Amino acid sequence: MEFGSVAFILRFLPIFFILYFVVPGRMKNVILLLGSLCFYAWGKPILVIPMIVSAISDFIFGLRIEKHRGKSSAKILLFSALFFDMGLLFFFGYADFFVETANTLLGTGVGKLGFPAPVGITVYTLQTMSYVIDVYRGNCKAARNILEYGTFVTMFPQLPAGPILKYRDMQASLHQRKMDLSMIATGTKRFCVGLAKKVLVADAAMQLWNLILEGKPGGMSIATAWLGMAAFGFAIYFTYSGYCDIAIGLAGTMGFSFPENYDHPYSATTVTEFLRRWNLTLTKWMKEYFFRPLTDGKKNVFLRILVLVATWGLIGFWYGPDWTFVLWGVWLVLFYVLEKLFLGKLISLLPRVVGWCYAMLVVAIGWLLFALDDVKDAWAYLQAMLGMDCSGLIDNRFWFLVREYLPTLLLGTLFCLPFIGRMLRRVETGKSGMAIAIKRLLEKVYPAVFLLASLVYLVGRGW
């Protein structure tokens, strides 16, 4: 089921929340678990099986690892658990990719499995893996209650796009959570913001990108090519961050506190800063469970760089089973390394706007790898962006599309940079009574306005 669908908002959510708030304390986990399974089963019911298998197996592995902690058998159990989790992930999410790669390299003709990748498998697999590792390391107690653990693994808000949760952070609230009015209200507001980001900005930006992509790169002007890149940048950011806002918001209304996942990545003035602001829970996960175990205590710079590049290659791979995603991660981390070596110091001497332009150029080129099917297409598009193969500097199509999508572009710019937050803080600390009154009024009405606008758009577009 998609967050941005009428069925989710007008069928699933009302029924789910009525049941969730009606049942007493401990039963809430039952409703959440069942609701999550329903949500997950909506796409293809059978794909709920790997998730259940993963939850049950890691629950058992967790208990066994804890029991054998400190013994060599614990390590064997840990590796068995990780092998099992990764096996599920690779089989359901990446098998066809590897078959295709092997066919290309070896000239074989092995048939694909043709499994549709289960939604959220990359999210819940990382969650279950971090759980067994944490239990092994003694960072958290093994779950004793299958219901609580099952709820953690299957919880629907974070399944589509994260944030990636850790059991150790959620353990207490899975057992008992306090639900106060302020938390529910904050969650409600966040949900409305996320929905508006997805429906009003991301979908329209994706539409613009697809429109531009209809023309061949060589036939478009430089300005149109850049407009397309900006549109894709907005689409990808607002889709992911919108989904995360929805997840954080829904979790809040249920009494959970989810970690933040995006921190205005397009305000970054270096690639390092961008990477620190993009999909925080995923990068933290990779740092804690992949990069550090392989580099801690090792001083060999080349090894550290190699592991770093591999880490970001895997982060890219998390987004999808294609080499272009791996290249996206590698492309970004190369600039991270260069910035650590010398580029960072150089950029710090220049005005911030120069740094911002440089960072956004690198990010935009990275998005080409993300957006297009292969490197050849990405290169052709980049040539149009750089004026090497284009139909001129600017054309009518550019102006036409700018006018058509002006609200999307304005909203996108406004919400992806930290203007609004800064302005609101300034108003709050300022002395203008009128400004504060307007701010309070806006704070009251914006959730309803965002929700209503999103619903009208969803319904209107569906029709």
Partner 1 sequence: MENKNNDLFTIGVVAAIVFVFALLDVLHQTGLLSRDAALSTDPMPVYTTQNFVSGNYLQEYDNYVAKHFYNGEKWARIVKNLELFWGKREFDDVYLGKEQTFFESHDAKTWQGTAETDSLALLERLSKEYQAKVMLVPTADEIWKERVPSYGDVLDQKAYLDKARATVSEQDFIDVYAVLEEHKKEEIYFRTDSHWTAQGAYYAYLAWWEKSGRLLPYFYDLDHMETILENYVGPLAKRSGLEVTGEALRVFEETLDKGVTVTYDGRVTVQGYYRPEYLDTKEPYGYFLGEGFGLIKIDTGLDRKNNLVVIGDSYANAMIPLIAPHYSTVYVVDLNCFHGNPWTLLDEQKASGADVLVLQSVPGFLDSFVKEEDVE
Query: Rule CB under 8 A: which residues touch partner 1?
Result: 1, 5-7, 9-11, 13-14, 17, 41-46, 181-182, 184-185, 188-189, 191-192, 215-216, 219, 396-397, 399-400, 403-404, 406-407, 443-444, 447-448, 451-452, 455-463
Q: CA torsion 7→8→14→16, rounded to 10°?
A: 120
CA-derived radius of gyration, the chain: 23
Would you say 341 or 410 has its CB closer to partner 1?
A: 410
Cis peptide leading into 351, omega within 30 of 0?
A: no
**Separation CA 303–CA 305 (nearest Å):** 5
Contact 237, 228 (CB under 8 A): no
Q: How far is the CB of 251 from partner 1 (least distance, A)?
A: 15
Query: Which residue has tokens 């804690």?
Result: 288
Would you say 64 or 189 has its CB closer to partner 1?
A: 189
DSSP state of 389: S
With b meaning 16 or more CB within 10 Å and e meaning fewer, what string describes 181-193?
eebbebbbbbbbb
DSSP state of 141: P
Would you say 303 or 420 has its CB closer to partner 1?
A: 420
Would you say 41 or 334 has its CB closer to partner 1?
A: 41
Would you say 185 or 303 has its CB closer to partner 1?
A: 185
Contact 371, 232 (CB under 8 A): yes
Would you say 306 or 420 has its CB closer to partner 1?
A: 420
Question: For 201-313, where are the E strands, in sequence order?
Answer: none
Q: How far is the CB of 173 from partner 1 (least distance, A)?
A: 20
Q: How far is the CB of 407 from partner 1 (least distance, A)?
A: 5
Q: How far is the CB of 39 from partner 1 (least distance, A)?
A: 11
Q: How far is the CB of 406 from partner 1 (least distance, A)?
A: 6
The structure tokens listed for 55 are: 């939850």
Q: How far is the CB of 171 from partner 1 (least distance, A)?
A: 27
**Separation CA 220–CA 346 (nearest Å):** 34
CA distances in angstroms from 175 to 18, 65, 170, 255, listed in the order given: 21, 21, 9, 11
Indicate the angle between helix axes 48-67 and 72-89, nearest 10 degrees. Answer: 170
Q: How far is the CB of 230 from partner 1 (least distance, A)?
A: 18
Would you say 155 or 451 has its CB closer to partner 1?
A: 451
Neighbours of 396 (CB within 10 A): 9
DSSP state of 157: G
Would you say 64 or 197 has its CB closer to partner 1?
A: 197
Q: How far is the CB of 119 from partner 1 (least distance, A)?
A: 11
Q: How far is the CB of 18 from partner 1 (least distance, A)?
A: 9
Contact 243, 197 (CB under 8 A): no
The structure tokens listed for 412 are: 């996108």
Would you say 11 or 422 has its CB closer to partner 1?
A: 11
